[in-house]
Every structure is written in C-alpha cells, then in structure tokens.
Structure 1
Amino acid sequence: MPEWLATIQPTTLAAPVFLISVIWEWWAVRTGHAKGNYETRDALASLAMGTGSVVVNTLTGMVTIWLMMLAWPYHLSISAISGWGFEGIPFTWWSVLLAFVLYDFTYYWKHRLAHRMRWFWMEHVTHHSSTHYNLTTALRQPWYGPFTGLILLGVPMVLIGFHPYMIFFVGGLNLIYQFWIHTEAIDRMPRWFEAVFNTPSHHRVHHGINPRYLDSNYAGVFITWDKMFGTFVSELETDKPVYGIVKPLGTFNPFIIAFHEFGGLLRDCTRDGLRPDRWIRRAINAPGWSPDGRHNRSAELKAIYVAHHPEQAGTPGLPPAGTHAA
C-alpha cells in the first residue's frame, strides 16, 4: 500500500469546493433562483459543527488509524487459513473501485445501526438536529471521533485484505459524494440515476421526521442497498419532508448540539439508579426505548400516526392497519 495514500484526505481537499457551493446555494436561495431555506443562526451552527468535527477528527486521527491497524495483521492469518496466500489487496484502480462499493455497503449498515441503537444515535443525532435542509446541513457533523466505536464496523474490510489507508481514502470519497445531496435546490435527478444512486430527493426523506420517513434511506452512495434490505421510501409530493429530530433542540449552541443526547442518556441512567442492566438496555435499544415499556421509538410513532390516519395504513413507509410495535 503506497504511503502517500495515508496523507490524502479527500474531504480536506474538497473543503474549498464545499465553501463555494454553500455560498452559491445561499445566494441562489436568497435571490429566488433556487428552492430552499436558510436561517443564519442555524447555518452558522452547522458550520461551527463542521469546524469542530475537523478539529476533533484531526486530534483523534491517529487513534482512529491505530484502531484499524490493530486488525491488519490478522488478515494474514485469515489468508493463510483460507489458502489465499496474499499479503493484501493491491492498490489498483479496480481495488479502489471495489473498496468504494464495499465501503458503501458497510456504511449502509453503520448508518442503519446509528439510527437503531441509542449509543450510536447519541453521536449521529448531531447531523439530524437542524430544522433546515441545505448544504450547511451536510457539514453538521459530530464531535465524537472514534469514541463510540462505530468505526470498528470497517474491520471486516481490513480482515479480507483492504488496507486501512485505502478504507479511509474511499471513506473520504463517500463523504464527498454525500455533500451535494443535502439540498432542496435540486428536485429530482433522471430516473435511471434515482434508481441506483442516493439523491437529494432520497436523502430529504432520510432527514424527514414525518412518521412515514422515519428510519429509511440509509444509503451513502447507492440507494440500491435500501431497496435490497427493505428500508427505501420514496419522497411523496403529498407529504413533504419536515426536517429535524422528534424532540427539537431549540438552540444553536454547538456544544449542546454536539452532546445533548449523551447528556440525556446519562440522565436516564441516573434515574434508573444502580441498574447496570437497564443502562445497557438503554444503550443498545432504539432511541425512544424505555424500560417501563412506554416506548416512543419510530415504530410506535408510525403506529400512532396510522391509528389517527387509517386511510394512510400500508402506504410507503407506514405499517398496515392494526400493526403493533414489538
């Protein structure tokens, strides 16, 4: 694996393009040339979150690489056992392409887990906390670095022979792709593109708190993962996405945006008393889970919506009538 690959951070190189794109979108929206909405304090909060994320990731970058490199020697053992007999997947155009696709597959499950387990949601909720949807939303990133351990879902790629440097490289490309889909300025892409790739329309659904849109469209680049695993919901003209989180923050303070869910989890565990079993269940269950059974997860929210709007039962993203959350 070429050492120079470790020095390339695609998202850092793309930063000027991000900034120019934000300025263009802001101007286009404010002058009526494009659809969308900008609120100055919200946009500044998102930019502050993006800046803080860069700082945190820079400070913890070596820890992140170290965690992935711990698994690297074990791919040799797996290779020997399987009879593959190679020291790692070579750095070529086809290996980078393959790594890009496999990383996106991994990202789908990592992203899905970030919505379905509160321990990981306390990090990812940062990205969903804006009530607006524009290019600055893409920059509203968490400040946790490798702390939650979610990055370890990339270990299987290391074990089959992809060097951590290559994984981080294609991971950066994946993030760059996801930047442009955070906009209302683009309505729909050509049908063939919408069928295969993640688009602004698909990702607007992901950021929506409308009951039908909750926990859907987890893809990074290829929307085909959602179609394969039953989590795809198409954007409906009759149900425009409403953005944010189920319990709005009502603040633009970057530190509250970054750590409010971590604080909420600690408060809930404190109220439980000395009950480590409950602490663990709170951490591993979906956001909204409660030990008393009075859950407020996405499944309950969907069921409640259908109960009040029975004519919507069974439509995209909503359960059939009479469905009860498990």
Structure 2
Amino acid sequence: MSITEMMMNVLEQSGLMPLWQAVAPWLALDERQLIFVIATPVFVAVALWEYRKIRNNPQLMDTREAIRNFALGAGYQITELLFAGLIAFPVFAFAYQHRLFDLELNAFTVLLTFFGVEICFYWMHRCSHRMRWFWAAHVVHHSSQRMNYSTAMRQNATNIFNGNWLFYVPLALLGLNPVWIGVIFALSLVYQFFIHTTLVGRLPKWIELVFNTPSHHRVHHGRNPGYIDRNYGGILIIWDRLFGTFIDEDLQDPPQYGITTAIPNNRLITLWTHEYVDLFRDMARSANWRERLQRLWQPPEWRRPAPRQEDMAGDRSSLPRQG
C-alpha cells in the first residue's frame, strides 16, 4: 500500500473524504507532499520545545522572526502544492517515460535512489550558493541572523518556479522511480530540519564523519570568512569531504549568521523577492547582453556593486559573504 492509499484510508475513516474531494483537484498532493504534511506537526512541536529553552536569549530566538519563518515555510508549501503538478511533475513523467534503463523497484534501487538524491542535492545546494539565479531563491533561508528550528522553515515560495528541482530529473531519465525520488527528497528535508539548532553539540566522531550534523550545518549558515560556502550536504557529509567543501566547526570561532546585503524590510514579499530585484537591477545596469546573461549563472558577488554604507549601518548581516 502506498503512502497516498494509506492517507486516503485515513481520510475516509475520519469522515473528511468529502472535503478532500472538494479541494484535491486543485492540489498536487503526492507522497512527497504528504510526508511534509505529516511532519509539520512534529516540526511545530520540536520548535516549541526549543523555544522554551532559548526564548530568553535574543541572540538565539526572536519570537516575531520565528512566526515569520513558519509563515515563509507555509508560503513555500502552498506554491509547491498549487504548481508542482503543473510545472515539475510533467517533466519528471516525460523523463521517466523516456528512461534509459528499466530498473526494477527493489531494496537495491531504493538505496541507489537514496545516494542519487543525495549527490543531486549536494550539487543543487552548491549551485544555489554559487549561481546567482538559484541564490535568489535560496538566500531567504540564509538571511536570518539566528540558528534555530524555525530557521529550517525559512524557505522561498519561488522555489518551484526557480527550477532547482531540475537537478533531480536525470535520476528519472536513468530509470529511477520518480515517486521514490520525491519520497527520499522529502525525507532528506525532514532530516535537515533537525540539524538547524544550537542546542546539539558535537556528536560521536563516526556520526560526524559520515552524516550532516548540527555542528556541520551551523558552519554552513555561518558568515565567518572561513565558513562561507561550506558543508552543502543533505543527510550525508561525505560529498563535502570528497569534493573539498567540508570544514569543521571551530569552537573558538563560533558561527555568525546572516547575509551580506541589507534587506529593506522584513515583509514576506520582500524576503522572497529582494535578491531577484537586485539581480534584475544589476542586469539592467550591465553594459551588454552577454554580461546581463552572465549574471544569471555567475556567483552572487560577481561584479556586484559594493553595499552602501548607509545600507550597512546597524545591520549585522552586512558582512563579507560570497554566497
């Protein structure tokens, strides 16, 4: 029985099936989305537990920002529900229909899908920092000056339009089941929620060696010069070790969080779009079409005007960061 069938049984037994049938045609709710729906109450419960631990420390927690972070996450989920079926799913279906290999669904191919999703996530995440078009969507996740569980919910509603899901399409083209690609991707994001915290210190060495941990991910969110653009892994940290992007957390140099450019305000629409606005403004100011197009795939700092001093004044996030 698939996750969708199990969910349908629950809806039928609870008497909610008529409501579901009324709204389902407008949503692209699949196994991947169901995992997020089921996990959300857990996220809220864990975030509330953490909140009680750190609420009196303004460097670790700001109540208004935490609420805003969950609102950002809700916006991300809504656009995924409404538009994934129209934009991403047809591409995956087309790729799988023209797959190169017929791979039977079994324990081995599920394990192969896990490693495939992990390596695709690494390169997608790395490109999300080193290519400005993808950074325009990802920046919202890094724009908080705090690291807590609510920060994990800080996602961009434009992700489905930004196209970072294209990094996973080759897996379907190879013949890996698109449903399981989505399920493993969702489970990876669920895992990553739990590494957005300052309450968990170093874990045993063998875990730190293989898996992405809170310590490794604090480095990833750091704006310290030595921490910038490091530790891109999802569940595993082995890809960073393999491709030279890994760095350990230095307890003598704790991470400072934030981004380089001041954000005009904290309205949701601004948080979602401010980097797109800056990107298109810089494209408009470019000398020629070649430079305009280059701005889409060059790193975020490429030929970017230095922040004005008046914009940086009083903003702790306006420190050197490459992406």
TM-score by length of 2: 0.82
Equivalent of 1:39 in 53, 56, 62 = 62
**How far apart in 2 are the matches of 1:130 and 1:166?**
32
**How far apart in 2 are the matches of 1:46 and 1:59?**
20
Question: One-letter code of the match for 1:55?
Answer: I
| 1:100/1:174 contact within 8 Å kept | no
SS, match of residue 119 in structure 1? helix
Deviation for aligned residue 1:92: 2.8
**Deviation readout 1:44-76 (Å, 9 max, x if unpaired):** 22111001001111111202211211211221x
Gaps of 5+ in 2: 6-28, 308-321
**How far apart in 2 are the matches of 1:47 and 1:221?**
22
State the identity %. Answer: 37
**1:80-229 correspondence to structure 2 within 5 Å:** 87=102, 89-229=103-243
Which stretch of the first structure deviates more once superposed, 6-15 or 148-157? 6-15
In the other structure, the counterpart of 1:70 is 94
**Deviation readout 1:257-312 (Å, 9 max, x if unpaired):** 11100010111112226x22111111110001018xx889xxxxxxxxxxxxxxxx
| 1:41/1:252 contact within 8 Å kept | no
Deviation for aligned residue 1:102: 1.4
**Deviation readout 1:185-224 (Å, 9 max, x if unpaired):** 1011111111100000000000001110001000001101
**Deviation readout 1:231-276 (Å, 9 max, x if unpaired):** 0011001211000111232632111111100010111112226x22
Equivalent of 1:48 in 71, 75, 79 = 71
Gaps of 5+ in 1: 80-86, 297-324
Deviation for aligned residue 1:31: 6.5
Matched positions, count: 282
| 1:129/1:245 contact within 8 Å kept | yes
Question: One-letter code of the match for 2:30?
Answer: T
Question: One-letter code of the match for 1:267?
Answer: R
In the other structure, the counterpart of 2:289 is 276
**1:8-47 correspondence to structure 2 within 5 Å:** 8=31, 9-30=34-55, 37-47=60-70
1:57 aligns with 2:57: no
SS, match of residue 247 in structure 1? coil
**How far apart in 1 are the matches of 2:166 and 2:68?**
29
**How far apart in 1 are the matches of 2:47 and 2:120?**
28
**How far apart in 1 are the matches of 2:167 and 2:153?**
22
**How far apart in 2 are the matches of 1:264 and 1:240?**
30
**Deviation readout 1:16-68 (Å, 9 max, x if unpaired):** 10000000000111378xx9711122212211100100111111120221121
SS, match of residue 219 in structure 1? coil
SS, match of residue 71 in structure 1? helix
In the other structure, the counterpart of 2:319 is none
Question: One-letter code of the match for 2:226?
Answer: R
| 1:2/1:91 contact within 8 Å kept | no
**How far apart in 2 are the matches of 1:61 and 1:144?**
11
Question: One-letter code of the match for 2:138?
Answer: H
In the other structure, the counterpart of 1:264 is 278
SS, match of residue 70 in structure 1? helix
**Deviation readout 1:128-160 (Å, 9 max, x if unpaired):** 011110000000011114322221111221121
**How far apart in 2 are the matches of 1:247 and 1:2?**
45
| 2:55/2:62 contact within 8 Å kept | no
SS, match of residue 95 in structure 2? coil
| 1:129/1:248 contact within 8 Å kept | no
Distance change >3 Å, CA 184–CA 154, structure 1 → 2: same
**How far apart in 2 are the matches of 1:167 and 1:160?**
12
In the other structure, the counterpart of 1:308 is none
TM-score by length of 1: 0.81
SS, match of residue 126 in structure 2? helix
**How far apart in 1 are the matches of 2:236 and 2:115?**
8
Q: CA RMSD in A?
A: 2.3
